């Protein structure tokens, strides 16, 4: 899972980091994604090593301890702007049907 770089620091990929933190890989990738509304100080630190984005074990432990009490809202909530079901308001009135 963890590999060592030239300085003997342990690093891993995003999938390995998610496994280490005990979360789903897609959730971890959401936290790393720059398009999310998560502030930069709450993102896990990453470095580029051999043209790959890697996560060092010490940075992951620090991020886990720093954000362990923070509740993240990562699922989108649907936004209903109006209570109307449809834009059409002139439905024909239902007539009584014979049996």
Tens digit of each residue's pLDDT (9 = 90 or more) over 47-65: 888 888 889 889 888 888 8
- On the 0-12 / 13-18 / 19+ scale of CB atoms within 10 A, 89 is exposed
- Could you tell me if 55 and 46 are in contact, meaning their C-beta atoms sit under 8 angstroms apart? yes
In a domain, 54, yes or no: yes
Structural domain boundaries, residue 44: 3-66
> pTM of the entire structure?
0.62
**59 belongs to a structural domain:** yes
Mean pLDDT of the 66-77 span: 66
In a domain, 58, yes or no: yes
Residue 24: the pLDDT is 87
User: Which pair of tokens denotes residue 96?
Assistant: 């009584």
pLDDT for the residue numbered 90: 65
Q: Is 79 a domain residue? A: no
Name the band, by pLDDT with cuts 50, 70 and 90, for residue 88.
low
* Residue 71 forms part of a structural domain: no
Residues 22, 26, 27, 29: what is their CA dihedral angle, to the nearest 10 degrees? 100
| For residue 71, pLDDT beyond 80 | no
**DSSP code at position 40:** G
Task: Determine, yes or no, domain membership for 36.
Answer: yes
Residue 75 scores a pLDDT above 70? no
**Nearest to 4, CA basis, from 49, 44, 45:** 49
Q: Domain total for the chain?
A: 1
Residue 57 belongs to some domain of the structure: yes
Query: Is 97 within the bounds of a domain?
Result: no
């Amino acid at each position: 899972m963890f590999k060592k770089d030239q300085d003997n620091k342990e690093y891993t990929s995003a999938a390995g980091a998610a496994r280490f933190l005990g979360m789903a890989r897609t959730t971890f990738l959401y936290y790393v994604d720059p398009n999310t509304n998560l502030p930069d100080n709450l993102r896990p630190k990453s470095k580029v090593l051999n043209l790959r984005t890697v996560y060092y074990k010490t940075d992951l432990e620090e991020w886990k301890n720093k954000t362990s009490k923070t509740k993240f809202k990562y699922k989108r909530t649907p936004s209903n702007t109006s209570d109307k079901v449809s834009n059409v308001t002139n439905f024909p009135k239902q007539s009584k049907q014979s049996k």
